[in-house]
Chain A
Amino acid sequence: DTAVSQTPKYLVTQMGNDKSIKCEQNLGHDTMYWYKQDSKKFLKIMFSYNNKELIINETVPNRFSPKSPDKAHLNLHINSLELGDSAVYFCASSQEAPLRGYTDTQYFGPGTRLTVL
C-alpha cells in the first residue's frame, strides 16, 4: 500500500551517461514534484506537474527533463550526467496544485540515491 514509490532506490553510473528515475503515486493526487537533496541535506524543488502539465520549473539545467505520462506518474530523465548531479532525488505529491497564496500538504517518496562516478 505504498503511497509514493520511486525506482530505482540506488543508481550508480558513469559521467556522461543518461539515466531515468521513475515515480508513481497511488493517492489519487493531482500534483507531483521532484526535489533534489544534496550532500549537505539541503532540499530544493526542481519541477512540479499538475495533471500532466508543468507548473513549476526552477533553475535546473536543460539536461534534466521531467515527463508525466499521466497524473499518477512523474519520471525524471537526466542526460549527460555530471559529478555534481550526485544527490538524493525525492518525488512528492499533493492533492491540490500550488497556487499564488496556497500550497497543499506534500507527501514524499523514499528517495533515489544517484551516484555519478
Chain B
Amino acid sequence: GIQVEQSPPDLILQEGANSTLRCNFSDSVNNLQWFHQNPWGQLINLFYIPSGTKQNGRLSATTVATERYSLLYISSSQTTDSGVYFCAVASLSNFGNEKLTFGTGTRLTIIP
C-alpha cells in the first residue's frame, strides 16, 4: 500500500516563529488533505489540496502531486497552533473506491 511519511516528527518553536511541515507519499494520489489534531484530541480539517497552493489566514499549503509531496506553512505561530498535524492521501481501498491513508504526523509545540 501507499506510504505517507511526514517530517519532522517533532518540532518545538517559540511563539511568533514560522514553520514548514512536509508530507511525502510513495505513489501518485488524487487527493490530499491536511488535518490538525489539537491537544484535546479534536481533528480539524485544514486543507483539501490535491494540487497547487491554498491559503487560510496564517496557514498555507502547497501540493506538488507530480513530485509526490505537500508542504504546510504556518506563519507567526501561536500557542493554539500546538498539536499534531497529519496529512492524508487518497488511495485505493479494497472496494475499488478511495480511502484516506494518514501520515505519521508532526507534533508541533509552540512555547510562549
Which residues of A does B touch, CB under 8 Å?
A: 41-45, 48, 55-58, 88, 90, 92, 97-103, 105-108, 110-111, 113
Contacts and interface: CB of A to CB of B under 8 A. Distances in A.
Contacts of A57: 94-95
Interface in B79-112: 84, 86, 88, 90, 92-102, 104-105
Contacts of B90: 98, 102-103
23 contacts: A41-B37, A42-B104, A44-B102, A45-B93, A55-B95, A55-B97, A56-B93, A56-B95, A57-B94, A58-B93, A98-B93, A100-B92, A101-B30, A102-B90, A105-B33, A106-B100, A108-B42, A108-B43, A108-B45, A110-B42, A111-B41, A111-B42, A111-B43
A105 B45 contact: yes
B102 A43 contact: yes
From A55, A102, A103, name the one whose CB has the most chain B CB atoms within 10 angstroms. Answer: A103
Nearest to A45: B99
Contacts, number: 72
B27 to A, nearest CB: 14
A contacts with B: majority SS: strand
Contacts of B43: 90, 92, 108, 111
| Interface size range of chain B in the complex | 20 to 34
B73 interface: no
Given A88-B41, A105-B45, A111-B41, A45 B100 contact: yes
Contacts of A97: 97
A43 to B, nearest CB: 4
Contacts of B98: 98-103
Contacts of A111: 41-43
B62 interface: no
Nearest to B96: A100
A36 to B, nearest CB: 11
B45 to A, nearest CB: 6
A103 to B, nearest CB: 4
A9 B104 CA distance: 24
B70 to A, nearest CB: 15
Nearest to B105: A41
Contact of B84 (A41, A88, A92, A106): A41
